[in-house]
Amino acid sequence: MTKITEVFKLNCKNPHIIFLSFLALLSGILIGTSYIPYPPWAIAFCYLPLWWAVLLSSDEKSYKTIFFLGWISQFVLTLLGFNWIYFTAREFGDLNIPVSLAALLLFASFMHLYIPFSLVIATYFKRKFKLTTTAFIFTMALVHILLERTWPSIFEWNLGYTLLWAKSPLAQWADTVGFWGLSALIFIFQAILLYSFLNFKTKKTKSLTVLAITVLTVVGLSILGVSKKQTFSKTDSQVKVTIVQANISNEEKLQAEKGYDYQPYVFNTYFDATELELAHINNETDLIIWPETALPVALDKVYHAKPSQQTILNRVKAWQKTLVTGAYSQDTYKRDHLGNLIIRNSVFFINGDGEAAAPYYKTDLLVFGEYMPFGQEMPFLYKLFPFVGVYERGPGPIQKAITLANGQNFTLGPQICYESLNPGFSRGLSKVGAEIFFNLTNDSWFGDWAEPYQHMIMTLARGVENRRPLIRSTNTGISTIILANGEILEQSPIYQKWAHTYTVPFTKNPPPTFYSKYGYWDWALWVLILLFILLVSSERGIRARNKKS
């Protein structure tokens, strides 16, 4: 931060740098206001001001200045698109206003540094290989694509998700390239747009031809996307699913988990909401789904004789329906490195006879929420940050076979909260044979502004990539279902008690999509393209130098 501040003070005295900084600021605004929940109004050109600023400064300006321009953009876009970090710091960390604001500013300063780093790397390539302007434009795009794809991040967002948010038929191609691939194509489009703009006066015909071909390609892919949706609308089975959103507050959840008087309140809230919906639909449902950690007790079989657990099992038995619910798994003897009995964030499956199958344990734990980095090696960190949980990791993607009272059977692929943000996890569910995905989430720590919408779309995206229906059940919203064809069904309101029953069409034993089978091909392809550009540009540079000599 000190070096960035020094560069900022120095550049404020230079009118040319002020103009370049304005372009970088403009890009930050365009990107930040084009991501969910904003309408994606500028995704076709949001990086162009930043790239133009780097083009104007790549020959004579220092790497520090170029890094600074990229830093401005990433700082502003983070403040605009991810300011819910402030709410989370207040709600989850119980931090005061100044500290929460500092946490947001720190997050915005460092979270998306791959953007300025991509510009520095591209500029290095330009100077090293003497790239032409055209080659440099595409190198900036490709390096960004590669760093975006591989940069370690807590929330791996990308612009591709905005296509699903906007209900664009282009989102249908996620089953081939994934949403990382769609994001890459957006950057390639922007590079073509910048090329056409900069060459319009000197190469008008060529620029217009390239742009026209690109636009026609996008139109053609959109038309084919509509056709893909129709193809995946054909199914051979269906199941009726009831989602219950109880809207339990964070304080009530915490008190219930400590065993205080809120436990009966939590139980009864779920019981009442479920029974009201069952009465409304004349008991015509197959599956009831409650959200992550809905029940503040351990549901392992060893605890089934306890009064609270007996109440739950007897109620499910009375409904004669299969219940899938989030709860805790607690070991009876095995302890963690802090000496506490091991706890797991879990999904339990209880059939209409009140019998519970083996649970699923969450695998991808949320950093600073469910585990502390280096916490096992340095236990004192948990004393410094007492709000951080200590959970044991699960086994990875699994499928659960469900058999209903009518004899119908299908396989469910469980995800808990954060696991939906990892495309590889859902591809794993597809590979083990899951026919329907479901995600249990509690977004009550993030407020009602952007995060619930961002998390929802990023979760539902896994259904399109793998062409499986995905059921999303949350505590405070947004609960909904996406079908294999990409259609998003009715969405719940945020921070309201709510229940709804859906008819979910699906395909028995669906084949894997191209992306399910070859999901990691996307970054490798862009590496090869980048190497090709550098090789060709290098050879041109050598020939040009030989001619001069």
**Structure tokens of 222?**
């959109």
Q: Average pLDDT over the chain, rounded to whole?
A: 89
* Interval 513-536: pLDDT, tens: 999 999 877 777 777 787 777 777
**Structure tokens of 156?**
């791996």
Our CA dihedral for 501, 503, 504, 507, rounded to 10 degrees, sits at 150
Predicted confidence at residue 431, as pLDDT, reads 94
Choice among 148, 292, 370, 435 that is catalytic: 292
Ramachandran area for residue 232 (φ above 0: left; ψ -120 to 50: alpha; else beta): alpha
Predicted confidence at residue 371, as pLDDT, reads 65
The residues facing 148 across adjacent strands are none
Q: How confident is the model at residue 89 (pLDDT cuts 50, 70, 90)?
A: confident
What Rg, from alpha-carbon coordinates, does the chain have?
26
CB 472 within 8 A of CB 480: yes
Backbone angles phi, psi at 104, to 5 degrees: -65, -45
538 pLDDT exceeds 70? no
* Interval 162-189: pLDDT, tens: 999 999 999 999 999 999 999 999 999 9
Choice among 126, 253, 362, 400 that is catalytic: 362
d(CA 413, CA 65): 48
Predicted confidence at residue 383, as pLDDT, reads 60
Q: How confident is the model at residue 364 (pLDDT cuts 50, 70, 90)?
A: confident
Ramachandran area for residue 490 (φ above 0: left; ψ -120 to 50: alpha; else beta): beta
d(CA 235, CA 483): 10
* Interval 288-338: pLDDT, tens: 999 999 998 999 899 998 999 999 999 999 999 999 999 998 887 777 666
The residues facing 17 across adjacent strands are none
12 pLDDT exceeds 70? no
Stretch (H or E) spanning 270:
helix 262-280
64 is catalytic: no
- pTM value is 0.91
* Interval 136-153: pLDDT, tens: 999 999 999 989 988 988
Complete edge-to-edge strand list for the sheet that includes strand 322-335: 356-361, 341-350, 322-335, 287-289, 237-245, 498-506
Share of the chain above pLDDT 90, in %: 64
More confident residue, 357 or 524: 357
Stretch (H or E) spanning 21:
helix 15-32
Residues 6+ apart with CB under 8 A from 123: 54, 58, 63, 66
Predicted confidence at residue 365, as pLDDT, reads 80
Q: All domains of the chain, ordered by start, with CATH?
A: 2-81+113-231+525-548 (no CATH), 237-507 (3.60.110.10)
* Interval 479-515: pLDDT, tens: 999 999 999 999 999 999 999 999 999 999 999 999 9
Q: Which has the closest alpha carbon to 69: 15, 131, 124, 26?
A: 26
Ramachandran area for residue 247 (φ above 0: left; ψ -120 to 50: alpha; else beta): left
d(CA 139, CA 389): 42
Share of the chain above pLDDT 70, in %: 89
227 pLDDT exceeds 80? yes
* Interval 101-112: pLDDT, tens: 999 999 999 999
Predicted confidence at residue 339, as pLDDT, reads 67
How would DSSP label each residue in 324-355?
Answer: EEEEEEEEEEEE-TTSSEEEEEEEEEE-TTS-
Give the 3-state secondary structure of residue 170. Answer: helix
292 is catalytic: yes
d(CA 371, CA 385): 11
Q: Measure the CA angle with vertex 351, ends 349 and 352; round to 5°.
A: 150
d(CA 549, CA 51): 33
Cβ neighbour number for residue 226 with a 10 Å cutoff: 10
Name the DSSP class of 361: E
Name the DSSP class of 307: H
d(CA 68, CA 65): 5
Predicted confidence at residue 319, as pLDDT, reads 95
Choice among 126, 321, 370, 417 that is catalytic: 417
206 pLDDT exceeds 70? yes
Show the DSSP H helices in 62-203 as ranges: 63-81, 84-91, 97-110, 114-129, 133-150, 161-165, 174-198
Predicted confidence at residue 212, as pLDDT, reads 95
d(CA 350, CA 360): 12
